[in-house]
Structure 1
Amino acid sequence: MEYEIRATVPSVETYLSLREAAEMSPRSREGVERGLPNSLFAVTAFAVDTAGPEGGTGAAETAVGMVRVVGDGGTVYQIVDMAVHPDHQGEGLGSAILEELLAFLDEEAPPNAYVNLVADVDGFYERFGFEETRPASKAMFLRTGSE
């Protein structure tokens, strides 16, 4: 299996299916349709089957990973929606898509911008220089009403 990493926002269907496959909390289709176009930057990983569809020619591809950054584009950036389909974990895709996103931030974010994320994996983000905020601060959340 070959993989391609592209600076592109995932489709609504890809976003919803990758979050489900990665056992992340659900998001409403309405919210996803509104939110994805407002991404400051996004990276999507694709599995490419160079043999093409059964008996056919050409390459078939499937989105298998994603990460986005949202924020005001100047003072604060939040890394969100980091997901790799379980069938494709262990191939370095998480690192590859995060590195692409961090390269964007290195190029575009002004000095002293605040980049944050909510991590659910111990040790992964620390390799990229992220630090826990406690005890100086704590992360909090509020979820709006359900459908």
Structure 2
Amino acid sequence: MISRSDRPAGVAEFRTLREITGLGAFSEEASAIALANTLHAVWLRDETGQLVAMGRLTGDGGCFAQITDVAVHPDRQRQGLGGEVMEGLMSWAETNLPEGCYLSLIADPGAEHLYRGFGFAERFGMARSV
């Protein structure tokens, strides 16, 4: 049984889920900072309490917000959990972010269909790492 949890991900499990889903693991320091600066998150856990899916909203919460870290454990993919994470994030965003707030995300190839279902459209964007 998978259910939504009020218990936020710890740094280690956040890093582990990112790594095993191919998102890459940031350093412990960077991950701790990121988690502390989350606007809203959806954490899905199994009956043992293991984190099996997650997604976060980050940003300033006024003009800009970004959906990040949407990840589903490889053993739990294709079960609708990504959609459940997105439903939770979008519900919170539509209720709590001000009108006109620019909501963005960067999708890995192959995940575009999930995000299109929530009204996201492809735009030109650029990114780089520090």
Q: Which TM-score bucket, shorter chain as reference? A: over 0.9
Q: Percent identity?
A: 34
Q: CA RMSD in A?
A: 1.2
Which residues of 2 match residues 1-147 of structure 1 at below 5 A? 2-48=1-47, 60-120=48-108, 121-133=111-123, 138-144=124-130
Instruction: Give the letter aligned to residue 115 of structure 2.
Output: Y
Tell me, which stretches of 5 or more residues in structure 1 are unaligned?
49-59
When normalised by structure 2's length, the TM-score is 0.93
Q: For 2:104 and 2:51, how far apart are their aligned partners in 1?
A: 25
Amino acid at match of 2:94: D
Distance 2:33 2:99 in 1: 29
Q: Is the 8 A contact 2:61 2:101 kept in 1?
A: no
**Following TM superposition, by how much is the alpha carbon of 1:61 offset from its aligned partner in structure 2, in angstroms?**
1.9
Q: Which runs of 4+ in 1 moved over 2 A?
A: 6-9
- What runs of 5+ residues in structure 2 fail to find an aligned partner? none
Could you list the per-position Cα deviations for residues 20-67 of structure 1 after superposition, in whole angstroms to 9, with x for gaps in the alignment? 11011231111001111110001111111xxxxxxxxxxx22110110
| Distance in 2 between residues matched to 1:7 and 1:129, nearest whole Å | 26
Cα separation, 2, equivalents of 1:131 and 1:72: 22
